[in-house]
Structure 1
Amino acid sequence: MVPPRLRVTEIFHSLQGETSRVGLPTVFVRLTGCPLRCLWCDTEYAFHGGTPMTIAEILEAVDAYGTRRACVTGGEPLAQKACLALLTALCDAGYEVSLETSGALDVSAVDPRVVKVMDLKAPGSGEEARNRWENLAHLTPRDELKIVLADEADYQWAKRVLAERRLAERCPVLFSPVYGRLDPAQLAEWILRDRLPVRLQIQLHKLLWGEAPGH
C-alpha cells in the first residue's frame, strides 16, 4: 500500500509564540491548505502549493531539530485527512504534540494525547458562521481555546460567548489582538475592567521577528 502523503508548506524550528507554551523551543509542521479566509489571516502563503511528504519523511525532518515539542499548524491542518495519522505518529515517537486548528472542522477524532488549540472565530474574522460549536464538547482541560479580536465589537462578542457557553470551565481561554489592528494594552484594560477569566496572548514571534514567514 502506498503511504499517505501530506502537502507541507514548511517545517521549521522556532519559539512557540502563542498558548501557555509560549517561549518554548518547538518544531512547527505547517500543512498546506485552508477552507477559511479570515480577513486578518497572516499565513495566506500556506493556502496553496506545498511539498508532498510521507509521514515518515515529516518525522525525519522533525527529528533533525532535536526538540521534543511539535506543533502541527496551517492553514487548517485538519483539512488534510492524513493529519490525524501524522498527529498519532508524532505522539508515538515521543513528542509533546499540539494542534492549531480553526474550529471549523471536526476535532473528535484527534488523538487524545494531542493538545488541541482551537479557535473560535469572532465577527471581525469574516468567518463567524464557520464556528463548529459541537467541537466544544470534545475539549478537555488540557486543551486551549483562542479567540482573535480585531476591535471592541469582537471583544464584546467574545465576552458574551465566554459567559453564555461557560468556556473558561472547559479549558484555558486566550484572547489575542489582531497584530497591528487592536492595541494589546487596550485589550488588557478591557479584560481587567471586566474581570474576565482569560489569558491575554500577544504573539511573541511577531514581537521578535515581525511578520516574516518561518517563525
Structure 2
Amino acid sequence: MNVLLADDEPLMLTILRAYFEKAGFRALLAEDGEAALDRYYAEPVDLAVLDWMMPKRSGVEVCREIKRGGGTKVLLLTAKGDADDEIAALQAGADDYLRKPFDPRVLLLRARKLLRLGDRLAAGDLAVDLEAQRVYVGGKDVLATHKEFELTKYLAANKGRIVTRQMLLDHVWGYDYFGDERTVDTHIRRLREKIGERRIKTHRGMGYSLEERDE
C-alpha cells in the first residue's frame, strides 16, 4: 500500500518513513503542500498523512483537494491543540487527527485502523501474520524464513501492484545493502516453492506482483 507522508521537517519524514516501510508500506515523501499534491496525482495513494502547517499549501488545503478526488484516507498531524482546530480538520474531510508530539507507533496503529488492516495481510488463501511473523497458505504454515516473511509482507501490502527488485532490496534488505538484484530473484524462486509458483507474477523489465490466487 502507498502512504503519502507530507511534512516540512526532514527529520520527521525520515522517522515516519522508517516506521511505515518497516510495516510493509511504500512511502511517498513531500516537504510542502504542492509537492504532496504532485505525488498524489502522480500515483495511487491509499493514505495521506499530512502536517497541518506546510509551506505553499497547508495540510488542510491538501486534504480538501484529495477528498474531492476520491476515497483516499487522510490523517492530519498538527501542533495545534484547540478543539476548533480539530473541528476544522474534520470539516475539511480528514478521517483522523493526531496532535504533535506523538509516538510513531500510535500513528501506525491509527493508519492501519483507517485502512482496515488488522494483524494480518491476506491475498486469497495466503495470510501473513504480522505479529507471529509467519506465512500461511490455506491455513498451513509454510515455514517461511525471515527474508521470505519480509518479502511476502511487502508484496501483500502492495497486493496487485508491481514492485521493482530495487524496492524489494530497499525494504527487505535495507537501504545500505549493495548486493546484486539477482538476490531478489533467488529468494522469490524459493518463496514460490512454498506459496505457489504462479501466485507471484513476474513482469519483465519491471518487477513482481502478488496476485490473489495461484492460478
TM-score (norm 2): 0.32
| Structure number with higher helix proportion | 2
TM-score (norm 1): 0.32
- Larger-gyration structure (1/2): 2
